Chain A
Amino acid sequence: MSRRTRRRLGQAALYTIATVVLLYTLFPFVWAISTSLKSGSAIFDTALIPPDPRWDNYVEVFREQPFGRNILNSVIVAASTVLLSLALGLTAAHALGRVTFRGRALLLVTVLGVSMFPQVAVLSGLFELVRWLGLYNTLPALAFSYLIFTLPFTVWVLTTFVRALPVELEEAAMIDGASSWTVLTRVFLPLLAPAMVTTGLLAFIAAWNEFLFALTFTLTDDRRTVPVAIALISGASAFEVPWGRIMAASVTVTVPLIVLVLVFQRRIAVGLTAGAVKG
């Protein structure tokens, strides 16, 4: 085989693999869109392009259950979680990234350790706490409990970014008499904005997708968040799972997320890989 044909074969193989990868990653979602547009018995038709596309499933998912309310709940919970974890993460990152004190390394490892907690390991303790605080079946219970998985990576990523900032900036400000708080809000905040967008986005996605706490700490349909609502969609009888509606609900909440991720894909890659590459 000549060098040229080998090269061509290699290229062909590469493009074939690329196509297979494309199919593998995208097909399930494409299939969900297809199913969501089929109504009635058309749902059992396995044509990829619906012969008679209809919006019925989308209308029904909002009519048969408080799905609009569920979306609003998810937005409220995820946004609150993001704000809380950014506020707590920023102040802590300032201290952890800049000030040397005894036990700092231990503290950072502890924070990282919290991210290893299985959610179910804190479930009964949190449930007790949530009920004791009178927060059972309320959204604050979720926004607050989600800090257990958003805080660790928020603190870690922001600390990494604080360390990368030049020390001279804040020293100049402090010599001019600025307090630590002023330095934090006037000097750090603007410089850390990109990092905060990244971590905020990751925290939003994590909170938006959370299932176990939402399933356990809420009871009524109007307090459910999107993942629980989608998991619990049921038909008139147990044998009649309304797949069309499930797919319509899934597509509705996933499209904005996919758009978000694609728009910010570079930032997300940075957030996920921060530190990992340096090993």
Chain B
Amino acid sequence: MRRSIAAQRRRDAVWFLLPLLVALLIVAGWPLARTIWLSFTDASLAGGAHRFVGLENYAFLIEDPDWWRAVRNTLVFASVSVALETALGLGIALVLDAQIRGRGLLRAAVLVPWAIPTVVSAQLWAWMLHDQYGVINETLLLVGVIEAPRAWLADRTLAMASVIAVDVWKTTPFMVLLLLAALQTVPVDLHEAAQVDGAGAIRRFMVVTLPVIRPALLVAVIFRTLDALRIFDLIYVMVGNASATATMAVYARQHMVDFQDAGYGSAASTLLFAVIALATALFITLGRLTAPPAAR
């Protein structure tokens, strides 16, 4: 009886999996294959005939200083913002884990930036960072931190710092959530034992807490890094295609859609895909990946 059930199940499993496989093939597999193919052609987004041009697009790409700038911007953006939000997320998670009144309120408040759509966050901050009427300039002038209003989003050096700050604000809740869940699995008696032994707060964190939350910390950092490497909407809405902040995704879309150069844009996209695939492979070998990806 058991054997026949298993056999029936295996037959049915094919039919249960087929819709998923077909859907993934249509929305992911085929389009990716086409993008890679188009990267070797002179295709235009408007359609029409295109011909194979070999590595021409890639040759142009590696000679374009704007492309290398986009690569650098992407790496700077991803590494700085993930580092900051990990530190901040861990700090906030530790506060939320402590026994304080109003913890429920605080926990709910921390989720708010996560709940706000990225485009909305981008607009909220673009308004707050406005060079003439922004509340941030106004406040900093009042406190005396700056003497003249700053053009946070137009100034080449400030723009990157600004978009990183907004990304940190928006994504720290994700870190907090993952780390808080991990912190709650830290055994209390272990902490107490360490305290009795005279271990200070920092030592207790290093010896007791950190080893327990390390897997969750690793997973959170990996997911955020892979997400940050493909950043598009926040930067596009706040500063458009400006080269000071344009990431690989922004650069690729600009060429593909604004300039209608599907072949060249696809080459840039393919390289971004390769970078992310490489990072993923690296992470998988570094530590086993067992967590589901989170919704953005």
Q: A120-B230, A211-B237 are in contact. Are A258 and B115 (CB under 8 A)?
A: yes
Segment from B23-31, B145-153, B189-197 that makes contact with A: B23-31
Give CA–CA (A260, B280) in the complex, Å: 32
* Minimum distance in angstroms from B53 CB to a CB of chain A: 15
Contact A209 B117 (CB under 8 A): yes
* Minimum distance in angstroms from B98 CB to a CB of chain A: 6
Residue of A nearest to B277 (CB): A116
Contact B28 A117 (CB under 8 A): yes
Contact A18 B229 (CB under 8 A): no
Task: List residues of chain A with CB within 8 A of the CB of B27.
Answer: 122, 126, 144-145, 147-148, 151
* Minimum distance in angstroms from A3 CB to a CB of chain B: 13
Per-position 1/0 for A111-148, Cβ under 8 A of B:
11111111111111111110100000000000011011
Query: Residue A65 at the B interface, CB < 8 A?
Result: no
Task: List residues of chain A with CB within 8 A of the CB of B294.
Answer: 153, 202, 271-272
Contact B106 A18 (CB under 8 A): yes
Across the A-B interface, how many residue pairs have beta carbons closer than 8 Å?
323
Instruction: Please tell me the size bucket of the interface on A.
Output: 35 or more
Contact B276 A153 (CB under 8 A): no
Contact A246 B110 (CB under 8 A): no
Residue of A nearest to B234 (CB): A211
Q: A32-B127, A116-B226, A211-B237 are in contact. Are A180 and B181 (CB under 8 A)?
A: no
Task: List residues of chain A with CB within 8 A of the CB of B47.
Answer: 131
Partner of B112, one of A29, A46, A268: A29
Task: List residues of chain A with CB within 8 A of the CB of B108.
Answer: 262, 265
Contact A116 B266 (CB under 8 A): no
Task: List residues of chain A with CB within 8 A of the CB of B13.
Answer: 94-95, 98-99, 101
Contact A262 B17 (CB under 8 A): no
Query: Residue B58 at the A interface, CB < 8 A?
Result: no
Query: Residue A208 at the B interface, CB < 8 A?
Result: yes
Contact A123 B269 (CB under 8 A): yes
Query: Residue A53 at the B interface, CB < 8 A?
Result: no
Give CA–CA (A131, B112) in the complex, Å: 37
* Minimum distance in angstroms from B275 CB to a CB of chain A: 9
Residues in chain A within 8 A of chain B (CB atoms) = 11, 14-15, 17-18, 21-22, 24-26, 28-29, 31-32, 35, 43-44, 46, 84, 87-89, 91-92, 94-96, 98-99, 101, 107, 110-129, 131, 144-145, 147-153, 155-157, 160, 171, 174-175, 179-181, 184, 202-203, 205-206, 208-209, 211-212, 216, 226-228, 230-231, 243, 246-247, 250, 253-254, 257-258, 260-262, 265, 268-269, 271-279
Residues in chain B within 8 A of chain A (CB atoms) = 1-2, 5, 8-10, 12-14, 16-17, 19-20, 23-24, 26-28, 30-35, 38, 43, 45, 47, 91-92, 95, 98, 100, 102, 105-125, 127-128, 130, 133, 135, 138, 169, 173-174, 177-178, 180-182, 185, 214-216, 218-220, 226, 229-230, 232-233, 236-237, 249, 252-253, 256-257, 262, 265-266, 269-270, 272-273, 276-277, 280, 289-296
Some 12 contacts from A to B, beta carbons below 8 A apart, are A11-B100, A18-B100, A25-B109, A25-B110, A88-B23, A111-B24, A116-B277, A125-B34, A175-B1, A180-B16, A265-B107, A271-B294
Q: Which 5 A-B pairs have the closest CB atoms?
A: A279-B215, A125-B31, A125-B34, A156-B292, A118-B230
